[in-house]
Chain A
Amino acid sequence: MPQYLIKRIGQAVFTLFCVLTFAFVLGRATGKPAGLLLPDSATPAEVDALNGALGFNEPLHVQYLTFLANVLRGDFGTSYRQRESALALIAERLPATFELAFWSFLLGLLLAVLAATAIQLTGSRTLRSLFIWGGSLRHSVPDFFFALLAGLLFSVALGMLPSLGRTSPASLVLPVLTIATGQFVLYVRLIDSALSDQAGQDYVRTAFSKGQSRARVLFSHMLPNSVLPVLTMAGLNLGSLLGGTVVVEAVFAWPGLGQVLTEAVSQRDFPIVQAGLLVVALIFVTVNLAVDLIAAKIDPRVSLA
């Protein structure tokens, strides 16, 4: 186990190093940013001076080594525009993103579990088609479009919910609904097929032959055994949700990580982009590791060696 952990952490560090290098190289390939930071009236000399002050007139390898050395010291630099610690600016947005990600994830998963168990309990093919078709239909509508429609219906037409911002718990409803309904079908399919797999297993037949009720067999035996495949998929999804939900954040003006990252990319605010990508990668790596550990805990057949 400790050996396994050390190996995984080593892999994680390498992944993060690659992410940082990518962020650095791709960022530098788009040019020096000072032209975007100064007003139109700035002269080329002023632009050049600012590029110099930001370190962009150094040779590329010097910039890269300085960058890595600073990162090792935990210093991601200062945002070119906000002039504050890039890492602090990213950290400031994490709560909003986490909030949106967790509630969306929970709601999506909960709805899917309810739907899948309902299918199994009733054994109704119609119900299965209904959930899968309905979910697929929702999934096939891009999130931004669904979000706009939801906003038009619930905010503009009905006036029930705020159309943007993060000002009250009601602000959460539309963005969470958008993400959760979009993910619903992915989980339904997984859980349903896992449950269907289990249904043919010997132990299930045995349980039934002992005279256990359908509900009892489903909840005590089948559902726990279906957790494993769902867990992996859910972990990946959670990781990507935690990395910021750019589109939904944009539509609902949700002040999360996605918003600050897209803004930073379009402004070539490299310290924020680099710090942001590292945080996103870190979240992803951590969630994946956690999923593996939980999987091993649940199922002794999963070996961590």
Chain B
Amino acid sequence: MPMSHARSPFRRALPVLSVGLASALMLTGCAGGFESTSGSSAEAGTGTGGKIVAALPTDPTSMNPVKTGSLVVLSVFFNTFDQLTKITADGSLEPKLATKWTPNADLTTWDFTIREGVTFTNGEPLTADDVVFSFTRILEDPTSENFGYLSSLASVEKVDEVTVRFNMKAPFSAFPRNTSLISIVPDQAYAAMGPEAFAAAPVGSGPFKFEKIQRGVAYDLVRNDSYWGEPAKLDAVSLVPVASDESRVNGVLSGSLDVAQISPAQVEPVKGSGAANVQSELSNGVVFLGVNSKTGILADAKIRRAIGMAIDKKAIVGTVLSGLGEPATQMLAPAVEGFVAGLSDGGYNPDEAKKLLAEAGYNGESIDFEYALDGRIPLSGEVAQAIQGYLTTAGIKVNLVGADQATHTLKVRNRQMKGIYLNTWAPSTVDGDLPLTDFYEKAGNNNYAQDPRTAELAVKQRGVEGKDRLSVFDELLGLSNEQGYYIPLYVPANNFAVDTKLDWTQRADGLYDFSTTGLKK
């Protein structure tokens, strides 16, 4: 067969191939298009305050504060919206949109006075109506992630132009702290736009305003020059979701990022590089062992106490966590309201543990120990293995079961744990009410013990304030330790790699608030 160029198979296919290729390139070309608003590192831009890029651990689900309230999204909302109150970096409560708040005598209603002269970035004035609207919308929507923060709230009403009244279902002394998580949206704009359009172009009243939202890529904020409070120092902030630990570290070291949370294992390498600073602050959370105290040998308080005493928490913090944390003595972190100074959980006492096991007649029965392989607790696998090691040394047989974080969380939620399990609780309100409700009240996810006394105390702390409240916490947390309903392990630090030029105050909850952040001269 003569070779003819006109009939070469390649020539024949050429049009097909080139059309395919061209259309493929057009597809990426049309829809692609790089956006160059983010990506630069701490630098003085055209303004004077500079611009930073901060990493978020996951991509926020939505920019609609009525619907979403997860931790990662609060790192955006604290900068772009106002809440009635504010928890400061050291955990204390401060006025924000509300100038003062007063309860009635039995703590069943709270009157908040709303700051005057505040406007949203669309020019709409912020009034009592917006506050009522924002809270009511959440109360009406059980699918809102914020619904759980307002489970104590029955209704909201406007008293006058500057006063909003919150009616509780039962006395609740810590309610003002819960309001620090609820962002106030402009009622007219929200109603006119609807939830989807609002999420695409959110309007707030915070120190920064949204400039551009590119989901999964960057949330670009610029300073709100008409902010009612002290104006932000930075010109712009770009919040970039980066899921991988390693990528966050590389991002800061290479200058793509200016601040990012890192794992305890990465602290030394970052320090050693000299390219970035490391900031570590004790968090608001406690990592603990939950106990199904209703089944098998764990029904015996002596066994539960023995497990607690067999674990050398100090050594775990020192070695596994490289010292980035401290042993916990109770189910609240020191930064959290309700923490009882001086309370002891018996400490590390392997001899006492063995004695208790003997008294309980422990006979080598195996205990399931479930943990999540990755996710919410950094180095959870290593921590779980260390615990298993200590328990084995004490003569307790442990069957280690790992699962992914979602499966683990669902098991916690459905109270399906059979033995002991690794878990953590960090209240964004930096108050003991949320975790202790979950630990000790009847409906609590972690409450296997169902002790009526702890449930009673958990309710009681809501009806009292100040010193009286602390004494209830004292009794409750002490009782929990004595009974070994939970085994508090440690309070981890939140660790951040931070650009050397950045002057940023870290919050106990590890969330971002850039309202006072600036660049060093």
Chain A residues at the B interface, C-beta cutoff of 8 Å: 30-33, 35-47, 49-50, 53-54, 79, 81-84, 89, 92-96, 98-99, 102-103, 148, 151-152, 155-156, 159, 162-169, 171, 203, 207, 220-221, 223-225, 227, 250-253, 255, 259-260, 263, 266-268, 290, 293-294, 297-299
Contact = CB atoms under 8 A, between A and B. Distances in A.
Interface stretch (B19-27, B295-303, B459-467): B19-27
Given A83-B67, A169-B34, A255-B217, 8 more contacts: A30-B406, A46-B151, A83-B195, A156-B275, A165-B39, A167-B36, A167-B38, A250-B244
Contacts of B443: 43-45
B58 interface: yes
Contacts of B379: none
A290 B20 contact: yes
A47 to B, nearest CB: 6
Contacts of B404: 266
30 contacts: A31-B414, A36-B413, A38-B145, A39-B145, A39-B148, A40-B425, A41-B148, A41-B149, A41-B434, A42-B148, A44-B415, A46-B151, A53-B142, A79-B61, A81-B62, A94-B31, A98-B24, A148-B250, A151-B250, A156-B250, A165-B242, A166-B34, A203-B3, A227-B9, A252-B247, A253-B244, A259-B243, A263-B243, A298-B12, A299-B9
B322 to A, nearest CB: 21
A47 B410 CA distance: 11
B70 A98 contact: no
4 A-B pairs with least C-beta separation: A224-B10, A35-B413, A95-B31, A255-B216
B59 A152 contact: no
B438 interface: yes
Interface of B: 1, 3, 5, 8-13, 16-17, 20, 24-25, 27-28, 30-32, 34-36, 38-39, 58-59, 61-62, 64, 67-70, 142-143, 145-149, 151, 195-196, 199, 214-218, 240-244, 246-247, 250-251, 253-257, 273, 275, 404-407, 409-410, 412-415, 425, 434-435, 437-438, 443-445
A101 to B, nearest CB: 9
A297 B216 contact: no
B10 A164 contact: no
A168 B39 contact: yes
A266 B375 CA distance: 10
A251 B246 contact: yes
A39 B8 contact: no
Nearest to B34: A168
A171 B254 CA distance: 13
Contacts of B243: 250, 253, 259, 263
Contacts of B241: 253
B195 A294 contact: no
A46 B28 contact: no
B148 A46 contact: yes
A93 B215 CA distance: 9
A88 to B, nearest CB: 10
B244 A40 contact: no
Contact of B3 (A96, A168, A221, A293): A221
B142 A49 contact: yes
A40 B434 contact: yes
B9 A294 contact: no
B149 A207 contact: no
Contact of B247 (A33, A39, A250): A250
Contact of A224 (B9, B145, B273): B9
B204 to A, nearest CB: 19
Contacts of A93: 216
Given A148-B250, A253-B247, A36 B256 contact: no
A167 B39 contact: yes
A81 B8 contact: no
Contacts of A220: 3, 5, 8
| Prevailing SS type, chain A contact patch | helix
A259 B438 contact: no
Nearest to A44: B443
Contacts of B406: 30, 36, 266-268
Nearest to B416: A31
Contacts of A166: 34, 217
A297 B13 contact: yes
Please indicate which of the listed interface residues A50, A152, A253 has the most CB atoms of chain B within 10 Å of its own CB: A253
A113 to B, nearest CB: 13
A44 B39 CA distance: 42
A290 B24 CA distance: 13
Given A36-B409, A47-B413, A159-B254, A294 B196 contact: no
A227 B16 CA distance: 13
B34 A40 contact: no
B217 A99 contact: no
A167 B250 contact: no
A39 B254 contact: no
Contacts of B30: 95
B413 A165 contact: no
Given A155-B254, A165-B38, A35 B409 contact: yes
Contacts of A41: 148-149, 151, 434, 437-438
Contacts of A31: 407, 410, 414
Contacts of B32: 95-96, 98-99
A266 B70 CA distance: 15
A53 B149 CA distance: 19
B41 to A, nearest CB: 10
Contacts of A79: 61
A102 B215 contact: no
A35 B148 CA distance: 12
Q: Which of A30, A42, A148, A227: most chain B CB closer than 10 A?
A: A42
A53 B143 contact: yes
B216 A35 contact: no
B142 A164 contact: no
A143 to B, nearest CB: 13
A53 B255 CA distance: 45
Contacts of A227: 9-10, 13
Most chain A CB within a 10 A radius of its CB, from B5, B28, B70, B275 = B28
A49 B140 CA distance: 13
B15 to A, nearest CB: 9
Nearest to A89: B215
Nearest to B412: A35
A95 B28 contact: yes
A272 B205 CA distance: 32
A163 B9 contact: no
Given A168-B39, A250-B244, A259-B243, A298 B143 contact: no
Contact of B61 (A43, A82, A266, A298): A82
Contacts of B244: 250-251, 253
A165 B256 CA distance: 9
Nearest to B64: A83
B500 to A, nearest CB: 15
B405 to A, nearest CB: 7
